[in-house]
Amino acid sequence: MASAESPLPTHGDAPAPAESEPLLGRPGDAIQKPEASMLHNFFLGTGKLAQAGAILLLAIIWASVFSNPTLPLVSPHPLLQSLGVYTVLQAILILQPTNTPHTKFLGQRAHFFMHILSLSLFIAGTTIIEVNKSVNGLAHFHSAHAYLGATTLALLLLQYLFGFTIWAVPAVWGGEDAAKRLWKYHRWVGYAALLLLLATVAAAVETDYVRAALRIRLWAVLVAEALIVAGVFPRVHLRKLGLEGSSARPAQTEHA
């Protein structure tokens, strides 16, 4: 049995990168192996829990919408917004385990394009419900869901702009080195935005339309969201957030 002073093991012959210690688990538990496909990042480690929660959440919402008469200016809203949440989750999961310059580059590109898609879905879904409110003379802000939704969309717009400028035009922030120091803030805001998205979905259960027509159970939504949180946050790399790992040991390097 290894002593308390023994170096932490790595996976296979690959070294344990400096950013490899996740929020829960041991270094390497949420790291993409050099030979692995990017697709594995969607399910690596606790990613399977996040995917199960995301699919469950989509199933709950879509089944409820299509089991009732569809309304052209109402029904697309939950469908599009739930797809947007699903896409945001995929954008996070594919980038989290990357650790080499090559995998980070590929992950950032996938992350960017997935967020372009998620933003398009959110804007389309929001536009449809706002048109419905205008056509029918309904209040634009009369529920916690509406306030959370508007706040989250505004935060996401700023987050997308922030991340894009850091990645594509670092000169805006004073050069590449200065921009790199801002990545941790982009990650912090991204995880906060995910929690706000989940809170917005949960708050939708208490809106008039959902209570009267869709009749979605809050407990079912919370179970799905708990799986998402349990799948995403244990894979968070502490040093990518500017935090030190729980271990104060110096990094160990193994050679094949």
* Confidence (pLDDT) at 20: 63
* Confidence (pLDDT) at 30: 83
Q: Positive or negative CA dihedral for 229, 234, 236, 239?
A: positive
* 252 is a domain residue: no
Domain that holds residue 223: 38-241
* Confidence (pLDDT) at 28: 63
Q: What is the average pLDDT across 241-247?
A: 67
* pLDDT tens-place string over residues 110-168: 999 999 999 999 999 999 999 999 999 888 888 999 999 999 999 999 999 999 999 99
* pLDDT tens-place string over residues 11-64: 444 444 445 677 777 766 789 988 899 999 999 999 999 999 999 999 999 999
Say whether pLDDT at 80 is over 90.
yes
Q: What is the average pLDDT across 243-255?
A: 46
In a 3-state reduction of DSSP, which class is residue 249? Answer: coil
* 7 is a domain residue: no
DSSP state of 252: P
Which domain CATH number covers 92? 1.20.120.1770
* Confidence (pLDDT) at 254: 34
Cα(214)–Cα(208) distance, integer angstroms: 10
Instruction: Please give the residue that has the higher pLDDT: either 232 or 18.
Output: 232
The structural domain count of the chain equals 1
Say whether pLDDT at 100 is over 70.
yes
Residue 245 pLDDT level (bands cut at 50, 70, 90):
low
Structure tokens at 221: 């939504």
* 32 is a domain residue: no
Element (H, E) at 70: none
The conformational region for residue 174 under phi > 0 = left, psi -120 to 50 = alpha, else beta, is: left
* 28 is a domain residue: no
Q: What is the average pLDDT across 209-226?
A: 97
Cα(227)–Cα(50) distance, integer angstroms: 6
* 16 is a domain residue: no
* Confidence (pLDDT) at 26: 72
Q: Which residues, at least 6 apart from 178, have a Cβ–Cβ distance to it below 8 Å?
A: 170
Cα(198)–Cα(142) distance, integer angstroms: 19
Structure tokens at 120: 């398009």
Bridge partners of residue 22, in order along the sequence:
237
Alpha carbon of 18 to those of 22, 182, 187, 188, 200: distances in Å? 11, 18, 17, 19, 35
Share of the chain above pLDDT 70, in %: 86
Cα(98)–Cα(100) distance, integer angstroms: 6
